[in-house]
Amino acid sequence: MRLDRFLAESTGMSRKEATKALHRGDVTLNGEVVKKGVVQVDTASEVMFNGATLKLQGPTYMMMHKPLDCVCSNDDPHHLTIFAYLDVPNPDKLHTVGRLDVDTTGLLLITNDGQWSHRITSPKRKCPKVYRAELADPLQPENVNAFAQGIKLRGEVELTQPAKLEIISEREALVTLHEGRYHQVRRMFAAVGNKVVALHREQVGALQLDPSLAPGEARELTVEEIALF
């Protein structure tokens, strides 16, 4: 790979900025200042920028405690995106594994490995996702059966897949879904005459949100966590 591309990809700077940094003499290759971007680097090369060793971003797997009021897209004119919270060199190379609404909090997975995220989001795999919902009105015992049977969402023809509803208290429930339709939890409760006032995702597959992560914080997944999917 060319040195200017390596510099851009490992730091997140543009190719133009990388070229300027090279011309300024800020970059060394195996201990020597190199000013030409065309020079080739390989895995054995040691590239330093202002004294710090650079590495290319390999496969990345993270969990974030998504806070309120931010969106899961890479770019949004009206809201902060979840990538604003991440301290990684190239956030635009990452994507979220599925999406949470702007006003949903909780476990969000982030990666640059498309095959891994497909294994989690593919409808065929039926990967369970567990949400804790707070409701405006008291839950009704018959809601449990309605969720298990499948719900007809407004504007849709097909019933939702069987979902598990566990009533925790008068206005709090856990919902387990095996699919991911648009605003699904909120729309399912709307269909049974209730309203979600807070929604938090606790678990995806066998992976739970790390309780040590405050809203907005993220960490790398462990090898064992990556292998859960």
* CA distances for 60 relative to 14, 219, 220, 222, angstroms: 21, 10, 8, 11
Q: Residue 34 contacts by C-beta under 8 Å, 6 or more apart in sequence?
A: 3, 22, 27, 28
Q: Is 101 a catalytic residue?
A: yes
Q: How far apart are CA 153 and CA 192, in angstroms?
A: 10
DSSP H/E element including 55 = none
Bridge-based pairing state of the strands 196-204 and 104-111: parallel
Tell me if 185 contacts ligand URA by CB under 6 A: yes
Tell me if 200 contacts ligand URA by CB under 6 A: no
Minimum distance, C-beta of residue 81 to ligand URA, in the bound complex (Å): 15
Centre a 10 Å sphere on the Cβ of residue 34 and count the other Cβ atoms it contains: 16
**Which of 27, 94, 100, 204 is in the footprint of ligand URA by CB under 6 A?**
100
Exactly one of 76, 101, 113, 210 is catalytic; which is it? 101
Q: How far apart are CA 156 and CA 121, in angstroms?
A: 20
Tell me if 207 contacts ligand URA by CB under 6 A: no
Minimum distance, C-beta of residue 55 to ligand URA, in the bound complex (Å): 34
Tell me if 113 contacts ligand URA by CB under 6 A: no
When the beta carbons of 89 and 98 are compared against ligand URA, the nearer one is 98
Minimum distance, C-beta of residue 185 to ligand URA, in the bound complex (Å): 4
| Residues labelled catalytic | 101
Query: By the criterion CB under 6 A, which residues form the site for ligand URA?
Result: 100-101, 104, 183-186, 199
